[in-house]
Structure 1
Amino acid sequence: MTEIAPLRIALFEPQIPPNTGNIARTSAAFRVPLTLIEPLGFNVDDRSVRRAGLDYWPHVQLSISANFPAFQAELHPQQRL
């Protein structure tokens, strides 16, 4: 049986990289999955992440959803409020 994270952070169309980085750091520290819902106002490719000095990025349980309906479809029923 797959374990379901009781808490998940989702950012809807984030536009500000430093705010997203701070939330991602918190997500990594507490081992809470983070979902970014597109479109994004910045790149999260390896080069951009390295240039920004986000050394914690490999520890972020990151997923990216194409839009809000796609995000909702990915949620387990127990994760919905």
Structure 2
Amino acid sequence: MRLVLFQPDIPQNAGTILRLAACVGVGVDIIEPCGFVWSEPRLRRAGMDYLEFATVARHSSWEAFLAARSPGRLALLTTRGATPLPDARFENDDHLVLGRESAGVPDALHTAADLAVRVPMVPGARSLNVAVTAGMVLAEALRQTAGWPAAPA
């Protein structure tokens, strides 16, 4: 299981997602360009001292990511997803793709996705924060695949 951040805009969200990934042992792919400088202090503040434990691969483009990625499905997390989260079935090697906060992902990424998942919301709600979505969907995916780290003895 991996999280994939497509051209993230907000360093605090990226830092929060990196912290989440470090804490549960999930790798993260960053598709550049980012909307911030990678050394941005707000990224470090949100990720705290967990960033050094995050397994991160940075890719110069979507195409570079596709060429380098490990096997597994692309599960796009999108407000346009056909599959509501409660109905989604995840696999151990899924790549959970999150779009830019400002614009989501291009149509080509929707086409490339093997699964398009949306988190159900009340009428009138446009979208959830990307880090919140990452946490919600990753928790469900880890539950389904028995991927949670073992509790310390």
For Structure 1 versus Structure 2, the TM-score category normalised by the shorter chain is 0.7 to 0.9
Describe the shift of the 1:62–1:51 C-alpha distance in structure 2 as closer, same or farther (beyond 3 A).
closer
Partner of 1:40: 34
Which of 29, 39, 44 is equivalent to 1:52?
A: 44
Q: Following TM superposition, by how much is the alpha carbon of 1:41 offset from its aligned partner in structure 2, in angstroms?
A: 1.3
Using CA pairs under 8 Å that are at least 6 residues apart, name the structure with larger relative contact order, 1 or 2: 1
Partner of 2:25: 31
1:75 aligned to 2:69? yes
Contact 2:11 2:42 in 1 (8 A): no
Name the TM-score, length of structure 2 as normaliser.
0.43
The structure number with the bigger radius of gyration is 2
Name the TM-score, length of structure 1 as normaliser.
0.76
User: Between Structure 1 and Structure 2, how many residues are aligned?
Assistant: 72
- Does 50-59 or 35-44 show the bigger shift? 50-59
Describe the shift of the 1:31–1:49 C-alpha distance in structure 2 as closer, same or farther (beyond 3 A).
farther
Identity of aligned residues (%): 36
Kindly report structure 1 stretches of 4+ aligned residues shifted beyond 3 Å: 48-53
Contact 2:15 2:43 in 1 (8 A): no
- SS of the equivalent of 2:49 reads coil
Q: Which runs of 5+ in 2 are unaligned?
A: 75-153
Q: Which runs of 5+ in 1 are unaligned?
A: 1-6
Partner of 1:63: 57
- Counterparts of 1:6-25 in structure 2, within 5 Å, are 7-25=1-19
The CA distance in 2 between the partners of 1:8 and 1:32, in whole Å, is 6
Q: Following TM superposition, by how much is the alpha carbon of 1:42 offset from its aligned partner in structure 2, in angstroms?
A: 1.6
